Amino acid sequence: MLPTHCLLLLVSALFQTTFATYQLVQDYTGDAFWQGFEFFTEADPTDGLVQFQSLEQANATGLAGFIESGNSSLAVYMGVDTKQVAPEGRASIRVSSTQTFQHALVIADIAHMPGGVCGSWPAFWMVGANWPNNGEIDIVEGVNDQITNSMTLHTNEGVVVSNTSDFSGELFTANCDINAPDQPANAGCSIGDNSNLTFGTDFNAAGGGVYATEWTSESIKIWFFPRGSSPDDIASSTPDPEADWGTPNSVFQGSFDMDDHFNNLSIIFDTTFCGQWAGAIWNTTSCASLAPTCEDYVANNPQDFTDVFWAINTLQVFQDNGQEGSSMTNFTGAGGSTKVRRSHPAGPRSGARVLPMYS
């Protein structure tokens, strides 16, 4: 029989495991977004027809800043160039959080996303510095005229997800290994959503919604709540996925050790064009009627990309009591103390305007 003090410790541990709650560890809402994200200016790793802009370039052209959201509040704004013919690549934004996370509940209230436009390839995702060994979680992603969201994991070998979990999406590919022999290169394990409200044109027409991603040692789950339907505990910043969140849109789990494949992930928002996905499947979509190639269309039709922008109302990261916390990492970019203005009026959105640099 165990000594009394051992029984007490065991009961205490079980209680903590059962009733652990999420606490806010990082709030990227408003000004804090630009304090916690850095600009990526290197060549696009996915071979897109894009020129990722520096902070200085984004400020000068109005491609990054703030824009009024539906309730007259300010949303973080990231757009693309809509004025120039761009044979060398369309100007766009890719930003990465300077902080990395080990297990997290990431909740993003997105008012508008760039999806559903031919040639575009937007993504909201998480990734480790040593790719693919530290893993990648694609929360929101799609290309061209795609109408529903794709949720995908990319890893090294040894990660195969099961189709036995309860989720509303459809499992397209089960092997997360980027080099899986029976799948297209870098397909990863992918679950496609069944609702048009989750991505692109219909998402934007409905006023967007809330994406919540829970990453633990056991699983990675993604929920989407259309505008006006998110649980009250999200609005109050006391999220509890075990309460009344309903069936996740996707669940990734299986007979593998999650912590062996997902470590120290940063958060990324970007919009690229063409490249290894949007460009590769161009001729299989209705977009092919617009131009012979994706690159030709993106380079020569700037006016068609006025709807290609992110507007993020809130972005918050929560972690479970007792879980490993977050850490700082260094990325090439602007630096966490750099301030960003609202978008310049010469930029693509008439609702965006200049403010003095924040102090």
* Rounded distance between C-alpha atoms, residue 118 and residue 340, angstroms: 29
Sign of dihedral through CA atoms 27, 30, 31, 37? positive
**How far apart are the two ends of the chain, measured CA to CA in Å?**
63
Q: What is the mean pLDDT of each run of 10 residues along the chain (359 residues)?
A: 44 42 96 95 98 93 88 87 98 98 98 97 98 98 98 98 95 98 96 98 97 98 98 97 96 98 99 99 98 99 97 97 57 34 39 33
Domains observed in the chain: 20-328 (2.60.120.200)
At 205 the three-state DSSP class reads helix
Helix, strand or coil for residue 14? helix
Alpha-carbon distance of 262 to 286, in angstroms, equals 36
CA distances from 277 to 128, 269, 280, 305, 356 (A): 21, 17, 5, 18, 39
77 within 8 A of 111, measured Cβ to Cβ: no
Helix ranges (H only) for 192-282 are 200-205, 232-235
Between CA 319 and CA 103 the distance in angstroms is 7
**Residues 23-60: b if buried by 16+ CB within 10 A, e if exposed:** eebbebbbeebbbbbbbbbeebebebbbbbbebebbbe
Residue 302 neighbours by CB distance under 10 Å = 18
What tokens were used for 231?
Answer: 């649980």
How far is it, in rounded angstroms, from Cα 306 to Cα 299? 14
Q: Cis check for the bond before 345: say yes or no (omega within 30 of 0).
A: no
Q: Which residues are catalytic?
A: 136, 141
Q: Find all residues with CB under 8 Å of 113, minimum gap 6, and list them.
A: 122, 124, 140, 199, 200, 203, 204, 208, 310
pLDDT at residue 349 in the model:
41
Give me the residues paired with residue 265 across strands: 101, 128
Amino acid at site 88: E
Distance of CA 5 to the CA centre of its chain: 46
Tokens of 252: 């990734």
pLDDT attached to residue 323: 63
The two tokens of residue 83 are 């004025």
Give the C-alpha distances (Å, rounded to integers) separating 341 from 66, 187, 217, 285, 291. Answer: 7, 38, 39, 38, 36
**C-beta atoms surrounding 217 within 10 Å:** 12
User: pLDDT tens digits for 209-235?
Assistant: 999 999 999 999 999 999 999 999 999
Query: pTM, whole model, 2 decimals?
Result: 0.88
Looking at residue 74, its pLDDT comes to: 87
Pairwise CA distance, residues 211 & 222, whole Å? 7
